[in-house]
């Protein structure tokens, strides 16, 4: 059901510093910041030959990652994102298998402009999983 690894997301306390590390120290291609108010984050993508790294910074007072950063002041890995062909088919199969979909179970538009859903970390070895329709 899942396809390729789309990205690994890392919450950072200082987006400018993280961008400089990836761009200037590692020589990576880094996108411009994008504010996603519906998701409560500002995001930057580090483009790699085989996947992407998503750098996340809380955006707004109700950011869902603010608590993560509070508990992990240096930042850290937040989630992994896998591609799926059909997000509704994937969602229904996951639910039938006992996985919990976070939120209201309906896809939201993600940073790539495509439908996404998040799956409960307790169902996936403690890792928050995002699925994205491609």
Please check the confidence at residue 61 and state whether its pLDDT lies above 90. no
Q: Per-residue pLDDT tens for 81-119?
A: 999 999 999 999 999 999 999 999 999 999 999 999 999
Determine the Cα–Cα distance for residues 61 and 90; give it in Å rounded to an integer: 32
pLDDT digits (tens, 9 = 90+) for 3-58: 999 999 999 999 999 999 999 999 999 999 999 998 999 999 999 999 999 999 99
This prediction's pTM: 0.94
Determine how many CB atoms are found less than 10 A away from the CB of residue 65.
21
CATH superfamily assigned to domain 5-133: 2,3-Dihydroxybiphenyl 1,2-Dioxygenase, domain 1 (3.10.180.10)
Residue 16 burial (CB < 10 Å; 0-12/13-18/19+)? exposed
User: Which residue out of 54, 83, 97, 130 is catalytically annotated?
Assistant: 130
130 is catalytic: yes
């Amino acid at each position: 059901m899942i396809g390729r690894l789309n990205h690994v997301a890392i919450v950072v306390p200082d987006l400018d510093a993280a961008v400089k590390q990836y761009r200037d120290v590692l020589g990576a291609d880094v996108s411009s910041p994008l504010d996603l108010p519906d998701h409560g984050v500002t995001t930057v993508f580090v483009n790699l030959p085989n996947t992407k790294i998503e750098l996340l910074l809380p955006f707004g007072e109700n950011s869902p990652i603010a608590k993560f950063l509070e508990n992990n002041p240096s930042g850290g890995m937040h989630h992994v994102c896998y591609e799926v062909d059909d997000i509704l088919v994937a969602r229904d199969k996951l639910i039938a298998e006992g996985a919990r979909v976070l939120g209201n179970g309906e896809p939201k538009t993600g940073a790539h402009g495509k439908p996404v859903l998040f799956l409960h970390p307790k169902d996936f070895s403690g890792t928050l999983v995002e699925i994205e329709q491609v």
